[in-house]
Chains A and B, each alone.
Chain A
Amino acid sequence: MLANVSSQIAQQLLDFFKQYLKGCLIPAFAPIPDEVIRKRLLIDGDGAGDDRRINVLLKSVTKWCNSTGTPEEGFTQYQRMMGTLAQCEFSMGKTLMVYDMNLREMENYEKIYTNIEQSITSAHEKIAECKKEIQRAKRIRKNRQEYDALAKVIQQHPDRHETLKQLEALDKELQLLSRTKENVDAKLELRKKQFHVLLSTIQELQQTLENDEKSDNDDINQESPAENGE
């Protein structure tokens, strides 16, 4: 019976050691970096805690296997060893859970990190958009101001419709006056021509009268030499 129990215990110890290795020494086959060693020394100082418990357990197992005391003593020692084993298993389970928790925390942080990065890029994009908007708004404002300035100048000049009306009225007046001028010119021409006709008729009459007088004189002169000649 003692041999069976001892082999059972040995088997359990082996299993426990394997799991312990898996749980607490994950990078066991990789060279353990200084940081990890430092941390583990900090956590698990000079063999106090789990390591010490395992060492004590091993020692007690060898002592118990080689013990020559009463079966009751042996049994109590066996009980004690089982208790220590259970403690070690418990702490191993705790460490495994802590490890799981850390992994999940890391995932969570990664997610938050990517979220924040995304929001940063979208904020950058929004900033660029807003800058473009500002430029557009400034151009629009400049155009509006130019328009206002020109409008101010334009307001100083009189209204186009009024000017057009004034122009129309002036045009009409101009046409009226030019027509009157034409009429007057035509009348002038007519009078001129009439006077010309009158004057030329007078001159012709004068000429004819002169001619008549002259021919009368000539006749008288012709008669008198004829009388004188006789």
Chain B
Amino acid sequence: MSASGPATESGTLLQIEDVGKTFQMGEVAVEVLRDISFDVRRGELLVMVGPSGSGKTTLLNIMGGLDTPTVGDIWYGEQNLAVASPRELTRYRREHVGFVFQFYNLVPNLTARENVFVATEISKKPLDVDETLEMVGLGERMDHFPSQLSGGEQQRVAIARALAKNPQLLLCDEPTGALDYETGKNMLRLLVDLSNTLGKTILIITHNTAIAPVANRVIRLRSGEIHEVHDNPHPQPPEEITW
């Protein structure tokens, strides 16, 4: 685990307090998130489930510093992301967060390895690119372009890219959403392993409730509000779950 952490005791990485988000769509204001409060604990595997449109991506974006809440605070150590400047948010993303997107978002004109380089080039203490790619099982195909890789392989590149920056927090938006059952399961395996071996804090959001049992903690979102948070002292290995 990375040595440089924020000065938080009690193992809290991120503290979300009364966050709300409203989108202004011309005349109408759409309230997408309301009264969201919870902590993200250091090293946990957190799964957030909720139906489509419940505001999962919006919340993830706010937690990752891609967006700011309309009300409320998000504390990352001493820093309140809710009032941070765009430049501070960029630094936060650059140094502390790794994203894995549903559609991988690889740069088509770069090979797998180069796609990871794009991330490591701007981080302070990156992991070795080739080792990271091997860790996600892509040692053989590093010099392939995204169009030459399957969906599962592309997702692995995306995970390697997020990991190689060596961030505190890995945010995964529907990491299995675009994958078939088997590949999806492998992906979960990988994330669980990363959480166990590297001690990364990982947040997975999904509308697939079947995934929830692999987590240390599950947050259920419904219509922009937290419906339920429950601890899971005995997470199931991904092989044992089905959907």
Do A and B interact with each other, yes or no?
A: no
